[in-house]
Amino acid sequence: MFDFGGNGLNEPKLLDFSDEIRSHLLEDHSLGPWAETVKRVFRKLLRDEGAALPAVSFATIQNARLDKLLSDILTLGHQQVSSRLRPRLNIAIAERLQRSWMARFREEFFNIDQTRQEDLSKSSRLKDVVFNKKAANGWELWKAAKCKTWLNLACAYRDGIVGAIKETPTKGRYGAAALPLLTGREEVVSTDTVRYMREARLSETHISLISHVGSQIRILRGHRLRSPLSPQAGIRYDGLYIVRRYSLKQISQTRLHRIVVTLERISKQPSMTELARIPLPSQMDDWLLFEKHEGEMIRQHRGEQSFLEWKLMKAQERMDRRQWRRALEVGAALTNARNANTAPECVTWGSSKMLPTISDLQ
């Protein structure tokens, strides 16, 4: 990974290293068991800066997100200092390394995110996906001209996972049925069973799922889904499930229809605890760049008014998501307290306490 002897640096392993450390910083607000490793790596990188021809190129920094790793460490270290907490991070080496890269690459280093944004549609996650000027809704803003996570449904369609850029059951390129859960809500019934609910017009109630009861289906979850299992951003493939039950009922007051789908996760797959780590920090970097790129496309093709409406919609979406997550945490605390008073042992989901149901939050 850190071979400075002429064989080149292993960028994929460097990216894995960067993601691992950044994830730990988010979860624990410290480097934890990685502290000595990070210090040793940063010393090697700093020593490399003194060479006549440094082995670390700008492309390596960009692709392995080493600039983001430095930034996250420095941000947390400065927060600890300003909060008058005892600093848990030694940021001196990180500061020296960042200054060295700024001096060596100058403007190129300061514009590194702009370079990444330009690369999104050329060779990165938006490759072969273009902006759709005639889109009628947010899911259709992008259309297709591989991985565990996608920026949008068009990217999943491009890779053959789904058969249409719509929130509906379809068969992908390889004949496997897939269901994207992008809106609505979901509750965890047991360790391997979830219940998905949605209120919509009859044409949007996934009636075709009736024929899939008892069959396997691929499940994709989007960040707008109100679920303890939804990803932080984008769309994530969450594995194979069996459709155990499908029910449909009309709501007389609104004339909408409510669907309830019970899904059972098939065993011997990566656990939901593992999948909850996706998107990784580097994938979140791409998500933020994608949102910025999408805003620029809307402004360019639809005008300033549409851009402002899009911006307001995104702000509302983020606020709703924060409130939902806050309610989820309160519900989890209430559930754990109730379980502690009534049972000697809590049911667990992976390494976490049993997640609350929708009724707990209500």
Burial of 19 (0-12, 13-18, 19+ CB in 10 A): buried
Over the chain, what is the mean pLDDT?
Answer: 80
What one-letter code names the amino acid at 236?
R
Question: Tell me: the pLDDT tens digits for 16-52?
Answer: 989 999 988 888 888 878 888 888 888 888 888 888 8
Confidence band for 358, pLDDT divided at 50, 70 and 90: very low
Mean pLDDT of 144-153: 63
Extents of the domains making up the chain: 11-110, 123-282, 302-361
* pTM value > 0.85: no
Report pLDDT for 347: 37
Where does the chain show beta strands of DSSP type E? 129-131, 142-144, 149-150, 170-171, 177-181, 185-190, 193-200, 216-222, 235-250, 257-265, 348-349, 352-353
Report pLDDT for 123: 59
Q: What DSSP state is assigned to residue 140?
A: G
Question: Tell me: the pLDDT tens digits for 173-212?
Answer: 767 888 999 999 999 998 899 999 999 888 888 888 888 8
pLDDT at 128 over 70: no
Question: Tell me: the pLDDT tens digits for 52-96?
Answer: 888 889 989 998 999 999 999 998 888 877 665 555 566 888 899
Q: Tell whether domain 123-282 is in CATH 2.40.50.
A: no
CB neighbours of residue 359 within 10 Å: 8
Which pair of structure tokens corresponds to residue 140? 């259709």
Contacts of 65 (CB under 8 A, 6+ apart): 15, 18, 19, 22, 281, 282, 285
For residue 248, which phi and psi values (nearest 5 degrees)?
A: -140, 130
